[in-house]
């Protein structure tokens, strides 16, 4: 009986270790990098081969924008997933996901500036304030700039951990602005199905953060009374 129990324990023991080892494997980050780059390769291939449909400009602008939202959701999901799964090693992928979010945001803006505005700065400056969806999208882009610029270890040391964390809380405002941008983009066609999906995901991710912050504050003995 004891030997059978030992064999069962020995057989089952490596499984969590393998899962944890996969996240810490040296190939994990290059694999994530390649996966995050695939949408760009697909869009570039489609543009070069003229296979993006009847309106390739719209396909490029919308495609890059969709990937901004997807990667933003994945970036925000890292911390809750760390807590829910008990795998702190997931944190090592957050910076790359955040930088790829910024990468696709830059592509999204450049696609608009080039394909819609012909890279004319005067036309861009006149167009953005006139259209609410463009204004909130540009606001998200501007807020994302300092986050991308400080997503490095030297910046964390220079700013200090508390100030760096406070600055990077701008990502919550960016997420809401991105969702509002997407909502107004789809409002013209009365197509809100995808908007509802992203809204639900962001509601869960941001709601968890609010709940976790309240619970942490209540658990802090420094906040105790009496």
For the stretch 194-209, pLDDT in tens is 999 999 999 999 999 9
Give 123 or 225, the one with higher predicted confidence: 123
What's the whole-number mean pLDDT along residues 118-133? 96
pLDDT of residue 57: 95
Chain-centroid distance, C-alpha 70: 6
Write down how long the chain is: 226
CA distance 181 to 204: 19
Residue 8 pLDDT exceeds 80: no
Residue 217 pLDDT exceeds 70: yes
pLDDT of residue 114: 96
Residue 20 pLDDT exceeds 90: no
Give 191 or 2, the one with higher predicted confidence: 191
> 0.75 cut: is pTM over it?
yes
CA distance 122 to 119: 9
Residue 42 pLDDT exceeds 70: yes
CA distance 27 to 95: 16
Rounded to 5 degrees, φ, ψ at 84 are -70, -35
What's the whole-number mean pLDDT along residues 105-122? 97
Q: Where are the domains of the chain?
A: 57-219
pLDDT of residue 6: 45
Residue 4 pLDDT exceeds 60: no
pLDDT band per the 50, 70, 90 thresholds, residue 21: confident
What's the whole-number mean pLDDT along residues 5-9? 44
Per-residue CA distances from 178 to 24, 43, 101, 134 (Å) = 32, 21, 11, 10
- Cβ-count burial of 67 within 10 angstroms (0-12 exposed, 13-18 middle, 19+ buried)? buried
What's the whole-number mean pLDDT along residues 165-174? 96
């Amino acid at each position: 009986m004891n030997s059978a129990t030992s064999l069962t324990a020995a057989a089952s023991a490596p499984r969590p270790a393998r899962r944890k080892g996969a996240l810490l494997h040296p190939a994990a980050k290059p694999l994530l990098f390649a996966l995050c780059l695939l949408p760009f390769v697909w869009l570039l291939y489609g543009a070069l081969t003229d296979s993006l449909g009847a309106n390739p400009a719209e396909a490029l602008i919308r495609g890059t924008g969709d990937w901004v939202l997807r990667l933003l959701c994945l970036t925000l999901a890292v911390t809750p997933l760390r807590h829910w799964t008990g795998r702190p090693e997931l944190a090592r992928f957050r910076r790359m996901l955040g930088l790829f979010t910024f990468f696709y945001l830059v592509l999204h803006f450049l696609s608009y500036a080039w394909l819609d505005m012909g890279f004319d700065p005067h036309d861009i400056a006149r167009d953005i304030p006139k259209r609410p969806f463009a204004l909130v999208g540009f606001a998200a882009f501007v807020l994302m700039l300092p986050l991308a610029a400080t997503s490095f270890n030297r910046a964390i040391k220079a700013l200090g951990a508390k100030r760096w964390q406070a600055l990077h809380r701008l990502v919550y405002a960016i997420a809401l602005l991105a969702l509002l941008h997407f909502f107004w983009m789809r409002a013209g066609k009365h197509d809100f199905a995808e908007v509802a999906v992203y809204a639900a995901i962001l509601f869960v991710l941001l709601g968890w953060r609010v709940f976790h912050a309240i619970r942490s504050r209540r658990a802090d003995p420094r906040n105790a009374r009496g």
